[in-house]
Amino acid sequence: MARFGAADIVAMLCSGLALFSTAVDSTTFTLVNKCAYTVWPGLLSGAGTAQLSTTGFVLLPGESTAVPVPPSWSGRLWGRTGCTQDATTGKYSCLTGDCGSATGMECSGSGASPPATLAEFTLNGAGGLDFYDVSLVDGYNLPMMIIPQGGSGAGNCVATGCAGDLNTACPAELKLSLSGGAKTTVACKSACEAFGDPQYCCSGAYATPDTCRQSVYSSFFKSACPRAYSYAYDDGTSTFTCAGADYLITFCPSPSTSVKAEGGQYPAATAVSGSAPASGAVAWYSLYAPAAISLAAVWRRHLL
């Protein structure tokens, strides 16, 4: 029988504790596609955070994929739609959420081109909590929900996201539409992208919570999806926390075919003209200015 000294026993105990700690601290994102069309998820790590084992893949309708996420990871993920691959170069291009991948489906450190619905995470942040949100600050392209599984968090460990189809109801001046007679809407732009006005972008003289307020356009998103970020300082009702959870991220939690044209095909995209904001519009949601800087604002200003 082998004999172990005190040093050997201590080493084995430390090794066991390390393995136990890794098991406890690791997180799994399970991405599920309940859309009636194919979705190509993209994943991007924040500054100073290593990229995940995959940064992009394909999910056919009904498919799911589990992605292991290391402790203290910070980043975002989204769904690309209408992707095609160039037969010569191998490059993928997508109608919405495109990340400009050079070859294959991987985004390889590139983010989503707006408009795109975003899921944002900071794991093991302040107080050991995970911070998460679904953001429409960069616009909307498809429904998405985040559901924590097995965690806890002082009553704030709840599902969040945007389950509704906003492409159909999107204001005309924000619509991103396909070419062709049907003019199918594939995404809904943010007012910042559509008009470039600092008051909508929370930039320049509007770069603080006191000066950047909810607009009629962000109110459209907030009214439809009350728990999602609608503009950069929308923290009060849009950031959620959890501890020790895994996360289920579902595309189209309710069946949707809104981005598909007739016959299930994706015609070529056409740009939407930057028309002026509608006059006489009335906000549907009360205004407020939370004091903290949102995860969405941090991403927009510092990480991408």
At 263-304, the pLDDT tens digits run 344 333 233 333 334 333 322 222 222 222 333 333 333 333
Q: Is the pLDDT of residue 85 over 80?
A: yes
Give the model confidence (pLDDT) of 186-241 as tens digits: 999 999 999 999 999 999 999 999 999 999 999 999 999 999 999 999 888 899 99
Q: pTM of this prediction?
A: 0.78
Q: Where are the alpha helices (DSSP H) in the chain?
A: 6-25, 166-169, 191-195, 198-201, 216-224, 295-298
Q: Is 19 helix (H, G, I), strand (E, B) or coil?
A: helix
Give the model confidence (pLDDT) of 9-38 as tens digits: 444 444 443 433 434 468 999 999 999 999
pLDDT bucket at 255, cuts 50 / 70 / 90 = low
Which pLDDT score, from 0 to 100, does residue 91 have? 85
CATH of span 27-164+216-256+287-303: 2.60.110.10
Tokens of 95: 């109608």
Residue 106 contacts by C-beta under 8 Å, 6 or more apart in sequence? 54, 55, 56, 57
For the chain, the average pLDDT equals 79
pLDDT bucket at 154, cuts 50 / 70 / 90 = low
Domain boundaries defined on the chain = 27-164+216-256+287-303
Given the structure tokens 């992707």, which residue do they identify? 83
Residue 146 φ then ψ, to 5°: -110, 125
Given the structure tokens 């189809």, which residue do they identify? 165
Dmax (CA) of the chain? 87
pLDDT bucket at 101, cuts 50 / 70 / 90 = confident
Which pLDDT score, from 0 to 100, does residue 296 have? 39
Residue 214 contacts by C-beta under 8 Å, 6 or more apart in sequence? 222, 230, 231, 234, 283, 285, 287, 288
Better-predicted residue by pLDDT, 184 or 136: 136
Q: Determine which helix (DSSP H) or strand (DSSP E) holds 90, and give its type and residue range.
A: none
Which pLDDT score, from 0 to 100, does residue 155 have? 58
